[in-house]
Amino acid sequence: MNKVTKVVIAGGGTAGWMAAAALTKLISNLEVTLIESEEIGTVGVGEATIPTLVFYHRLLKINEAEFMKAVNATFKLGISFENWRDVNEDYIHAFGVTGRDCWAAGFQHFWKKGREKGFASDFGDYCIEQVAAKRNRFAQLPKNGINYAYHMDASLYAKFLRGIAEQHGIKRIEGKIGKVNVCSENGFIQSLEMENGQVIEGDLFLDCTGQRGLLIEQTLHAGFEDWSHWLPCDSAIAIQTTAVEKPRAYTRSIAHPFGWQWRIPLQNRVGNGIVYSSKYVSDEEAKQTLLNNIEGEALTEPRVIKFRTGTRRKHWHKNCVAVGLSSGFLEPLESTSIHLIQQAIVRLLRIFPYDGVKQCDIDEFNQQTKVDVEAIRDFIIMHYKVTNRDDADFWHYCRNMQVPETLAHRLELFEQTGKVFRKNNELFDDSWQQVMIGQGLIPQHYHPIVDNMPDEELKRFLKSIKDGIDNTVNQLPEHWQFIQQFCPSP
Ligand code: FAD
């Protein structure tokens, strides 16, 4: 087994440069080469993130204000789901915890009883991130008192990370990979051959070539598990516009009869797009719907992106690890793709095969990835399945479709008992309650242990949480004002 001293990253989108920055900065004695093609370009979307990115940046010792300035970032406290539960109804899925941790039963049980008694307000009123998002206020509070992520410009982010990787010795090659050379004995990738004939050899290859999956699929045929029967959207159209208001501290996800639309506010513009199922609407009609629902002047031409929802059967195969879109795709409803890139990189750092590629490392990597991705898949499917919408064929299909057994069980458990359990250290925790309730699934019962608390005490308990949040949020600055102080424009 060859020691791994040379890593080759094929592709320079968000995935390629996130991997390059981490590997060059965090592993010493490694020769890292990245190949990218300006002519092919990147997917050019992927501008909303989740709080795990904050921790990734801390790992890389990235200065937050410098990062925000470089990528025109705003803060994000959650996602506003509009028209999802039903037409003209909305809720916010925020990043924080709702209520207070109660050892015996989750907060939702106390809220449920309070609601029955008529003294609980909306579930979201007990979550500081949600209240701050609604009032468009923001500040960083001590001890991660407010969980947040960012909205950012994807192409500027790749440039920013490239700067870090270059400071740490990355070798960058511009041009198209024409051929992937594989060892006839063990099936490992030996080298990548550029169209100009240059050959780049390596011990470990990261496939960051986007949806093409040039190494992992076109060469190594790792296989693809299709999930489009659960997530029928297969197309998107993206367009950038000028801003007509100060940036909100949340992403907007607005449902339509055949999919949904995003609005991502940056410091200097707004990213917009529509995600839809081509089975239920034409590209042209989807484009018109998007254009009818944007605010501000268009800065770019509308661009159609086709995708297939699902996952690679093996994310690491032979000496090739798929990172980013080459590893599969879950639609951007909960902004989880960049998180999955970061997870793959951190997992690779932990399992890094210094002494040579071993099958046990590969199996561990693939098993952990499968657990992570399937939990996120279930969470995203839930938004479509749990809805009162039945006003269009698309929604009729979604609300009546069979869902994975893991999700069916979760929904049944919550509906009948109000119980929710986090499994296998999965990404989403409190979010399950927030979105199930937000989508209109209210449990039939609460945990009987709540009855140990007299009604007056329950009333005081709920009120103290809500009042505490209100007081804190009232003291926070306005989101835009905070950004201008935190990372002032020159
Ligand atoms: P790409 O950006 O496609 O990069 C591929 C790279 O490979 C490019 O540099 C290209 O030049 C190079 N390449 C390919 N073939 C060759 C070759 N033969 N030779 C040389 N170089 C080659 N994620 C989020 O987290 N949040 C979001 O809000 C979000 N929104 C999205 C919206 C849509 C509509 C879509 C489709 C995706 C969204 N994503 C989002 C996902 C996110 O965009 C991607 O995860 C992220 O951009 C990473 O892409 P990538 O680097 O894997 O691929």
On whether both 313 and 287 belong to a single domain, the answer is no
**Does one domain contain both 206 and 239?**
no
Co-location of 39 and 158 in the same domain: yes
297 and 170 belong to one structural domain: no
189-194 and 78-82: which strand pairing? unpaired
Ligand 1 centroid – CA 147 distance (Å):
26
381 three-class SS: helix
Number of structural domains (the chain) is 2
Sign of CA pseudo-dihedral 346, 347, 353, 354: positive
Report CA-CA distances (Å) from 215 to 173, 206, 210, 323, 352: 17, 8, 10, 11, 19
**For this structure, is 370 an active site residue?**
no
**271 and 328 in a common domain:** no
Backbone angles phi, psi at 343, to 5 degrees: -60, -45
Which tokens is 376 given?
């996120």
Alpha carbons 50 and 63: distance in angstroms, whole number: 18
182 domain-assigned: yes
Kindly give the distance from the C-alpha atom of residue 40 to the centroid of ligand 1, in angstroms, as a whole number: 11
CA of 437 to the centre of ligand 1 (A): 33
Task: Let me know whether 222 and 314 are in one domain.
Answer: yes
Do the domain assignments include residue 323? yes
Does residue 301 sit in the same domain as residue 159?
Answer: no
**Residue 117 near residue 458 (C-beta atoms within 8 A):** yes
Please, which residues have CB within 8 angstroms of residue 85's CB and are 6 or more apart in sequence? 91, 387, 388, 389, 438, 439, 440
Residue 60 lies in a domain: no
Tens-digit pLDDT profile for the chain (490 aa)? 689 999 999 999 999 999 999 999 999 999 999 999 999 999 999 999 999 999 999 999 999 999 999 999 999 999 999 999 999 999 999 999 999 877 778 999 999 999 999 999 999 999 999 999 999 999 999 887 999 999 999 999 999 999 999 999 999 999 999 999 999 999 999 999 999 999 999 999 999 999 999 999 999 999 999 999 999 999 999 999 999 999 999 999 999 999 999 999 999 999 999 999 999 999 999 999 999 999 999 999 999 999 999 999 999 999 999 999 999 999 999 999 999 999 999 999 999 999 999 999 999 999 999 999 999 999 999 999 999 999 999 999 999 999 999 999 999 999 999 999 888 889 888 999 999 999 999 999 999 999 999 999 999 999 999 999 999 999 999 999 999 999 987 6
* 352, 297: one domain: no
Cα–Cα distance, 206 to 198 (Å, whole number): 18
Residue owning the nearest CA to atom 14 of ligand 1 = 209
Q: Residue type at 404?
A: P
Ligand 1 pocket member 208 (CB < 6 A): yes
Identify the CATH number of the domain in which residue 193 sits: 3.50.50.60
Cα separation, 350 vs 346, whole angstroms: 6
Question: Which residue owns the Cα nearest ligand 1 atom 6?
Answer: 11
Does residue 340 sit in the same domain as residue 294? no
Out of 17, 33, 43, 264, give the residue to mutate to test ligand 1, the one with the largest number of ligand atoms within 8 Å of its CB.
43
Domain range for 291 is 235-306
Q: Output b/e per residue, 203-215; b: 16+ Cβ within 10 A.
A: bbbbbbbbbbbbb
User: Is ligand 1 within 6 A of the CB of residue 48?
Assistant: yes
Question: Is residue 47 within 6 Å of ligand 1 at its C-beta?
Answer: yes
Query: Which of these, 284, 293, 282, lies nearest to 260 by C-alpha position?
Result: 293
Query: SS3 sequence, 437-460?
Result: HHCCCCCCCCCHHHHHCCHHHHHH
Same domain, 194 and 315: yes
Q: At what angle do helices 128-135 and 455-474 cross, to 10 degrees?
A: 50
**Do 369 and 381 touch, CB atoms closer than 8 A?**
no
First vs last Cα of the chain: how many Å apart? 53
Tens of pLDDT along 212-253?
A: 999 999 999 999 999 999 999 999 999 999 999 999 999 999
pLDDT at 1: 67
Atom of ligand 1 nearest to the CA of 39: 11
Collapse the DSSP code of 68 into the 3-class scheme (helix H, G, I; strand E, B; otherwise coil) and give the result.
helix
Tell me the CA–centroid distance for residue 46 and ligand 1, in Å. 8
346 Cα to the center of ligand 1, angstroms = 19
294 and 171 share one domain: no
pLDDT value at position 39? 96
Is residue 397 situated within a structural domain? no
Instruction: Classify residue 134: in a domain, yes or no.
Output: no
Q: Of 25, 69, 76, 385, which one is the catalytic site residue? A: 76
Ligand 1 in reach of 325 Cβ (< 6 A) = yes
Q: Is residue 269 part of a domain?
A: yes
Same domain for 163 and 284, yes or no, is no
Asked if residue 40 is part of any domain, the answer here is yes
- Residue 238 and residue 301 in contact, taking contact as beta carbons nearer than 8 Å: no
Residue whose C-alpha is closest to residue 344's, from 211, 214, 201, 207: 207
159 within domain boundaries: yes
pLDDT of residue 490: 63
Q: What is the residue type of 47?
A: E
SS3 of the chain: helix, strand, coil, percent, to 5: 40, 20, 40
Task: Among 8, 74, 153, 209, say which to mutate for ligand 1: greatest number of ligand atoms within 8 Å of CB.
Answer: 209
Of 342, 357, 372, the last residue of a domain is: 357
